[in-house]
């Protein structure tokens, strides 16, 4: 006797809900991982065309706190995203440097070539978020010990739910001459170790393409909280870090 279409639809719907539930539980398990003990270091031996990053454990004391109130900008502007003036870029650049951000510039963090303009200034309420994200990016750059570039910071053309739209996210890239498998893997280890250790770092993600690009975003109003993107790349790195804790001579 043929199976009624209603029954088939009901079974299919139940299976879809079950799969979605499993995926949701998996996501919660990943993002709820407790901070792990210090990891001794990254794989031994020099990386091709780039010095070996410092031991990953060294980033633990380098966590940054959200910045306090910023000095007012005296140039005058409305609250809508608009083209950043040279005066505003100079003001934000001074704030970056006063907070220890020396390897990334105001122009890099607000570059909006894909958004119809050269540089976009975030609304005033978002500027502290961009500064906080830049401070985290600087801490990662310091621990890495070699150049990293900003591929994307504030993106006012993104969807409103995007942390890039809220000026709370930065994508970092390996330089073109350093995009090796070994370097990509070491950078992912470093960023994941930082993410596990620093509760003010909300989101983390690794891109499949282009090679060597990572995403970070900081806690902010409207944030998704502790979250990982592109888990097909994130999960193996987190598993490797967890496995390393049980090796002889390493903290459990």
Measured from the Cβ of residue 227, the count of other Cβ atoms closer than 10 Å reads: 16
What pLDDT, on a 0 to 100 scale, did the predictor assign at position 26? Answer: 36
What pLDDT, on a 0 to 100 scale, did the predictor assign at position 62? Answer: 59
What pLDDT, on a 0 to 100 scale, did the predictor assign at position 11? Answer: 41
Name the one residue in this structure whose structure tokens are 């270091």: 41
What is the C-alpha to C-alpha distance for residues 211 and 103, in angstroms, rounded to an integer? 21
pLDDT, tens digit (0-9, with 9 covering 90-100), for 67-93: 888 888 877 766 666 778 889 999 999
pTM to 2 decimal places:
0.74
What sign does the dihedral 185-190-191-193 (CA atoms) show? positive
What pLDDT, on a 0 to 100 scale, did the predictor assign at position 131? Answer: 95
What pLDDT, on a 0 to 100 scale, did the predictor assign at position 241? Answer: 85
- Chain-centre distance for alpha carbon 63: 14
**Domain spans of the chain?**
33-245
What's the length of the chain? 252
In the chain, which residues have pLDDT < 70?
1-63, 77-81, 112-117, 245-252
What pLDDT, on a 0 to 100 scale, did the predictor assign at position 169? Answer: 95
């Amino acid at each position: 006797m043929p199976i009624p279409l209603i029954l088939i639809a009901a079974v299919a719907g139940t299976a879809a809900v079950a799969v979605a539930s499993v995926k949701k539980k998996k996501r919660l398990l990943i993002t709820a991982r407790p901070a792990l003990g210090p990891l001794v270091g990254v794989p031994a031996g020099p990386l091709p065309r780039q010095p070996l990053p410092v031991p990953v454990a060294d980033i633990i004391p380098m966590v940054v706190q959200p910045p306090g109130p910023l000095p007012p900008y005296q140039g005058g502007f409305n609250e809508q995203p608009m083209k950043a003036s040279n005066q505003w870029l100079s003001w934000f650049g001074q704030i970056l440097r006063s907070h220890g951000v020396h390897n990334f510039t105001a122009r890099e963090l607000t570059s909006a070539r894909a958004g119809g303009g050269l540089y976009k200034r975030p609304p005033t309420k978002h500027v502290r978020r961009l500064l906080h994200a830049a401070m985290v990016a600087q801490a990662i750059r310091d621990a890495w010990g070699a150049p990293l570039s900003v591929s994307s910071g504030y993106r006012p053309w993104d969807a409103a739910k995007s942390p890039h739209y809220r000026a709370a996210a930065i994508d970092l890239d390996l330089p073109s001459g350093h995009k090796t498998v070994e370097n990509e893997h070491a950078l992912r280890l470093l960023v994941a170790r930082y993410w596990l250790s620093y509760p003010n770092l909300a989101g983390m993600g690794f891109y499949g393409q282009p090679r060597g690009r990572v995403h970070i975003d900081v806690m902010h109003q409207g944030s998704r909280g502790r979250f990982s993107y592109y888990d097909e790349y994130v999960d193996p790195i987190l598993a490797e870090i967890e496995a390393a804790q049980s090796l002889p001579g390493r903290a459990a």
